[in-house]
């Protein structure tokens, strides 16, 4: 187990943690207690390019440059620490796809989870395969956020690119390829592609045949092997020359670990750029995965089940920019009653994933009149995201006995009102995680377990948190409002 100490263990090898998100990359140093070393963290912000036809992409080498710049800076900041950096642990966004040719040069940009240009091919996949059977096997619905639709789109619409691509990688794999020369991927990253068999922990041959992808075009699935830096980067970063690099895991998996949510009775709720609610546990994937949810893996022994929303902190920022929200918007919402605006909003401005996975879903606002203002719309948006969380929560309860919900993420830190709305809609008290970088810490904890510094991460004490109590009276109001939201959601789907 970890040593019980409040002191930073700077006499033991440190761990460099790298957290690659869709809006920023963070690099930080942790000690052998998985405590963040003070003032030894950096953050680089960036953004994917949203294209009118539904594209959501970023240049792979530009993003790789942000990652290496972050490592440069954290090493510079820590140059006076005469302590070995023994390990490098990392997490990154799931579902990304980038092609490379036989020289390792990119043939595509990094296509993110929100890239919807392949949406017409989800219908093709549904006609060819039994989606329920495939969902239970791969843990993924047919949707443009996953690899099958993207690969089919590239094959049909970008034939030259498809034929010129020697390997298909996630961006995390692309980083690993450049920094360590490893052409491999972690079980965690592979499990979220939509072409991975959750029961066998291997690529799904039936989908590969249909997509005309050879196994040799995919990275080798790596369960435990660690790597060292490639010579050129070992010269750039002498302090990391002998460090062991762990396979990158999905940021959602890392967040559950860092939040102490590794059993069926504790769920992690996160609002970052997007949003998600997840349960992780040691054991097998369910034979029948609840409709509308996904199921991936943390490693060979642990699965993670949940739902993801494309509208999270990005929706808050978009409304803030578009509506020129007043600075006192949060205070104004505090003074209002629950669902007091009379609006019905569908929070699919960035598309829909859980629970409907409807490629045609769009954001909408019903009931808008000249008497409404920007704060009304903001409140309706926040509440509608909470209603979607409630739907995920209900479906998760069919496979897990959730007793606690730990909430984290920049979107909730930026808006305490939103956090309260979610608690009131769910009718559940929330544990507000005091660990600001739960994903980064989660990657470190899994690495420490892998090298035997931690016996079992499930047995670790949960991070310190504060309890946010829900308001029963507000929950009663929201229960009725949620029924109205569900009726409108159902009607929208019937009209499409």
Residue 495: per-residue pLDDT: 66
User: Can you read off the two tokens belonging to residue 232?
Assistant: 């050129």
pTM value surpassing 0.75: yes
Q: Is the peptide bond before 355 cis (omega within 30 degrees of 0)?
A: yes
Q: Quick one: CA dihedral 51, 55, 58, 59, positive or negative?
A: negative
Per-residue CA distances from 312 to 128, 248, 308, 316 (Å): 33, 24, 10, 7
Give the domain-ending residue among 206, 225, 250: 250
61 lies in which domain range?
14-250
Neighbours of 86 (CB within 10 A): 18
Q: What is the pLDDT of residue 487?
A: 94
Query: Which segments of the chain have a pLDDT < 70?
Result: 1-11, 495-496
Q: CB of 197 within 8 A of CB of 204? A: yes
| The pLDDT value given to residue 434 | 77
Shared domain check, 198 and 318: no
| Residue 3 confidence (pLDDT) | 41
Return the pLDDT at 462: 80
Contact 304, 315 (CB under 8 A): no
- In the chain, the number of structural domains is 2
With vertex at residue 493, the alpha carbon angle to CA 285 and CA 363, rounded to the nearest 5 degrees, is 95
Q: Is residue 450 part of a domain?
A: no
pLDDT of the residue at 322: 93
Q: Is the domain of 84 the same as that of 55?
A: yes
Spatial distance between the Cα atoms of 384 and 388, rounded to a whole number of angstroms: 6
Residue 78 CA to residue 479 CA, distance in Å, equals: 51
Indicate whether 266 and 241 sit together in one domain: no
Mind listing the pLDDT tens digit for each residue in 7-27?
556 668 899 999 999 999 999
228, 250, 272: which is the final residue of a domain? 250
Closest-CA residue to 94 (of 230, 276, 322): 276
Same domain, 242 and 339: no
CATH (domain of 374): 3.30.420.40
- Does residue 273 share a domain with residue 237? no
DSSP β-ladder status, 49-50 and 465-468: unpaired
Tell me whether residue 459 is in a domain.
Answer: no
Residues 322 and 200 in one domain: no
**Residue 185: helix, strand or coil by DSSP?**
strand
244, 101: one domain: yes
Does the residue 406 lie in any domain?
A: yes
Among 204, 225, 250, give the residue marking a domain's end.
Answer: 250
Residue at 3 is within a domain: no
Q: What is the rounded distance in angstroms from the CA atom of residue 411 to the CA atom of residue 420? A: 12
């Amino acid at each position: 187990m970890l040593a019980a100490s409040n002191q930073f263990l700077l006499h033991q090898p440190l761990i460099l943690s790298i957290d690659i998100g869709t809006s920023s990359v963070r690099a930080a140093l942790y000690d052998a207690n998985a405590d963040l070393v003070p003032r030894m963290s950096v953050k680089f912000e960036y953004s994917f390019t949203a294209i009118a036809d539904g594209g959501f992409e970023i240049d792979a080498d530009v993003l790789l440059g942000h990652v290496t710049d972050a490592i440069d800076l954290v090493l510079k900041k820590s140059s006076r620490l005469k302590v070995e950096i023994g390990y490098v642990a990392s997490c990154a966004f799931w579902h990304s796809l980038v092609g490379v040719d036989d020289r390792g040069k990119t043939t595509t940009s990094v296509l993110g989870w929100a890239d919807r240009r392949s949406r017409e091919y989800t219908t093709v996949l549904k006609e060819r395969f039994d989606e329920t059977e495939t969902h239970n096997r791969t843990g993924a619905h047919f949707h443009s956020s996953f690899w099958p639709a993207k690969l089919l789109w590239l094959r049909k619409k970008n034939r030259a690119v498809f034929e010129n691509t020697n390997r298909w990688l996630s961006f995390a794999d692309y980083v690993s390829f450049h920094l360590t020369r490893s052409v491999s991927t972690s079980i965690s990253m592979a499990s979220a592609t939509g072409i991975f068999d959750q029961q066998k922990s291997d690529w799904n041959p039936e989908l590969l045949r249909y997509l005309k992808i050879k196994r040799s075009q995919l990275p080798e699935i790596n369960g435990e092997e660690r790597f060292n830096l490639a010579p050129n980067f070992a010269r750039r970063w002498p302090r990391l020359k002998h460090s062991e690099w762990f396979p990158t895991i999905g940021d959602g998996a890392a967040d559950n670990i860092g939040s102490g949510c590794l059993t069926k009775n504790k769920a992690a709720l996160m609002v970052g750029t997007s949003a998600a609610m997840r349960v992780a546990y040691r054991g097998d994937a369910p034979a029948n995965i609840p409709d509308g949810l996904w199921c991936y893996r943390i490693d060979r022994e642990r699965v993670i089940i949940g739902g993801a929303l494309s509208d999270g902190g990005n929706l808050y920022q978009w409304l803030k920019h578009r509506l020129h929200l007043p600075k006192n918007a949060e205070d104004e919402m505090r003074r209002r009653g629950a669902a007091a605006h009379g609006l019905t909003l569908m929070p699919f401005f960035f598309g829909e994933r859980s629970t409907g996975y409807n490629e045609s879903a769009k954001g909408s606002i019903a009931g808008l009149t000249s008497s409404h203002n920007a704060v009304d719309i903001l409140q309706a948006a926040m509440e509608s995201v909470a209603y979607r969380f409630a739907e995920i929560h209900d479906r998760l309860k069919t496979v897990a006995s959730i007793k606690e919900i730990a909430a984290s993420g920049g979107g909730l830190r930026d808006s305490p009102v939103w956090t309260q709305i979610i608690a009131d809609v769910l009718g559940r008290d929330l544990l507000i995680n005091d660990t600001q970088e739960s994903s980064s810490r989660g990657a470190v904890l899994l690495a420490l377990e892998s090298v035997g510094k931690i016996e079992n991460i499930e047995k670790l004490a949960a991070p310190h948190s504060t309890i946010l109590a829900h308001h029963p009276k507000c929950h009663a109001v929201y229960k009725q409002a949620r029924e109205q939201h569900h009726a409108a959601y159902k009607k929208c789907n019937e009209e499409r």
